[in-house]
Amino acid sequence: MEGDREHNIKTVDQEIIFFNSYLPRTGHNFAAEVIKIFSEHEVLAHNRSETRISTILDSYYEIRARNFYESDRKFLDTLFINDLRKKILDQSPRKYIMIKDTSFKGVELMPEIFPDDLHFILIRDPKSVFLSLLKGMNLKKRSLRNKVKRFGIPAGLYPYFYSKKISSQVLKKFPDLRAHTIIRYEDLVRKDEKTLLLLKEKFATKKNLEQIKKEIDDIQVINTSFFEETGAKNIWDRKPKTSTFNPLKRKKFSFTIVKAVELGSRELRRKLNYI
């Protein structure tokens, strides 16, 4: 695989922040807002975009490998890869541009294709992610599947098998993380000084820690209860945090559901060093 890819020429004074996580509901939008405090980046194509470039490039190189002739592979690269970095950076005059993706698919390719850019991976305790995914499920529509879910969720059966199944899918495409900067969602929420200093150094920001912490406190949050409260309308609306808002301790879940999710996601939690 090495040597097959033509790297893009570095564009002076601009860098792309490739920001991946393993699933939706990992706190991607909040984390992007925190990083913006340091980098003043622009998210492409809009503030809530998850552009899935790593996923697309993973599929591209899988298809590319089926060509027998090097000339064919180079021709495809001329069409789709060469100058890709410049095309991305041409979308904004900002020094930093962010591209997000809620998948590990293709993550390992990105540092090789874009060696002059920044590669971040956001991780969050899978227990919290799966509880959030369960919370966001729309079970109002009448169907046999939803009926089974409504029965299986309180008993813990559905949360267990759902968490186990999705965890297995993530583990199958788990990348080598050593070429990436790993950020924990929980550390951003807690304003962990070691993490803040890492970002401060990475982006050479002159803001002091107290100013950074205040700006984190001022970040509004996405309405994660859109199914229950809004019927999926205004899905990306932000609202001020309430005094009871605590993203690290999910409420409204029974002991049975929480334990079922913990058991179902155990292997992934262990892989991400949460247990």
- In sequence order, the β-bridge partners of residue 181 are 120
Q: Can you give the pLDDT at residue 9?
A: 45
Rounded CA separation 46/217 (Å): 23
Q: Can you give the pLDDT at residue 240?
A: 64
State both tokens at 57: 């490039």
Q: What is the pLDDT of residues 182-226, one digit of tens each?
A: 999 999 999 999 999 999 999 999 999 999 999 999 988 765 544
Is the Cβ–Cβ distance between 267 and 178 less than 8 Å? no
Q: What one-character-per-residue DSSP string does 124-180 give?
A: --HHHHHHHHHHT----S--HHHHHHHHHHHHTHHHHHHHHHHHHHHHHTPPPGGGS
Helix (H, G, I), strand (E, B) or coil at 185: helix
Is 1 a member of any domain? no
State both tokens at 241: 């945090």
Is 10 a member of any domain? no
CA angle in degrees (0–180, nearest 5) for 195-198-200: 110
Which among 78, 86, 73, 186 is positioned nearest to 127, based on CA atoms?
Answer: 186
Q: Can you give the pLDDT at residue 225?
A: 47
Residue labelled with tokens 């959030």: 132
Rounded CA separation 26/130 (Å): 9
Total domains in the chain come to 1
Range of the domain at 249: 15-271
CATH code for the domain in which residue 217 is found: 3.40.50
Other residues' Cβ atoms within 10 Å of the Cβ of residue 37: 21
Is 9 a member of any domain? no
| Tens-level pLDDT at each residue, the chain (275 residues) | 444 444 444 455 899 999 999 999 999 989 999 999 999 999 998 878 888 999 999 999 999 999 989 999 999 999 999 999 999 999 999 999 999 999 999 999 999 999 999 999 999 999 999 998 988 776 666 676 666 677 778 889 999 999 999 999 999 999 998 999 999 999 999 999 999 999 999 999 999 999 999 999 998 876 554 444 444 455 556 666 656 566 777 667 899 999 999 999 999 999 999 99
b/e string for 208-226 if b means 16 or more Cβ within 10 A? eeeebeeebeebebbebeb
Q: What is the pLDDT of residues 231-265, one digit of tens each?
A: 445 555 666 665 656 677 766 789 999 999 999 99
Q: What Rg value do the Cα atoms of the chain yield, rounded?
A: 20
